[in-house]
């Protein structure tokens, strides 16, 4: 939360979404977590191992603090299940573009577009796509069919590759993101 507070000192407009697991949140308590997140300047929370049906306790706490509860939809999610997730989601819907481990497989933008089409009929939320976006080419392909592009592993991998020269990490990340932005804007 401290990093978000520091970030908010210089940037109050870029949305910040915390993505993580339920256990650390349970350890500090739902209400305490929601208070800390709101105080830090967080905009949304994606708890990857909490389905909407289990968010009855934390959901209202997030909502009362203007924190969006964001949920995941995968290629294997049934139509009925997707409708439930869409009904509970806020902020945006995170579509997981691949089956498998993040950053490990090849993304197919046509498959993504095919899966996003029925979701558009279920929700007015922006449909943002993550998993498998590793460079400008994949970012541009996804940007053509989605409302947002989520990049994670490509940045984590770049950090890991640069640990022996930490002073280069910021530049490396800026380079990766600039490549993606340029490709999406082309």
pLDDT at 183: 97
Rounded CA gap, 89 and 111, in Å?
Answer: 23
pLDDT digits (tens, 9 = 90+) for 72-83: 999 999 999 999
Predicted confidence (pLDDT) at residue 106 exceeds the cutoff of 90: no
64 and 78 within one domain: no
pLDDT digits (tens, 9 = 90+) for 42-101: 999 999 999 999 999 999 999 999 999 999 999 999 999 999 999 999 999 999 998 655
81 and 39 within one domain: no
Q: What is the DSSP letter of 147?
A: S
Which DSSP helix (H) or strand (E) runs through 110?
helix 109-120
180 and 122 within one domain: yes
Q: Residue 45's domain spans which residues?
A: 1-69
Number of domains in the chain: 2
61 and 34 within one domain: yes
60 and 6 within one domain: yes
pLDDT digits (tens, 9 = 90+) for 107-132: 888 999 999 999 999 999 999 999 98
pLDDT digits (tens, 9 = 90+) for 131-140: 989 999 999 9
- The DSSP-derived string for 59-90 is HHHHHHTT-EEEEEE-TT--HHHHHHHHHH--
Q: Domain boundary at 69, 103, 121, which?
A: 69
78 and 28 within one domain: no
108 and 60 within one domain: no
38 and 1 within one domain: yes
Q: Domain boundary at 34, 49, 69, which?
A: 69
CATH of the domain at 162: 3.20.20.70
pLDDT at 101: 56
Rounded CA gap, 164 and 153, in Å?
Answer: 19
79 and 50 within one domain: no
162 and 86 within one domain: yes
């Amino acid at each position: 939360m401290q990093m978000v507070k520091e970030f908010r000192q210089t940037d109050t407009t870029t949305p910040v979404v915390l993505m993580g697991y339920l256990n650390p949140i349970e350890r500090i308590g739902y209400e305490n977590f929601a208070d800390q997140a709101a105080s830090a300047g967080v905009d949304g929370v994606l708890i990857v191992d909490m389905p909407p049906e289990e968010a009855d306790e934390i959901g209202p706490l997030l909502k009362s603090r203007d924190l969006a509860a964001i949920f995941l939809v995968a290629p294997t999610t049934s139509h009925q299940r997707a409708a439930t997730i869409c009904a509970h989601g806020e902020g945006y819907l995170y579509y997981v573009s691949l089956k498998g481990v993040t950053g490990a497989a090849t993304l197919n933008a046509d498959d993504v577009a095919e899966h996003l089409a029925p979701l558009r009929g279920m929700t007015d939320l922006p449909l943002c796509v993550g998993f498998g976006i590793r460079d400008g080419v994949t970012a541009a392909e996804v940007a053509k069919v989605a409302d947002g592009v989520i990049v994670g592993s490509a940045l984590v991998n770049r950090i890991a590759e640069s640990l022996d020269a930490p002073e280069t990490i910021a530049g490396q990340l800026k380079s990766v993101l600039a490549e993606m932005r340029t490709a999406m804007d082309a």
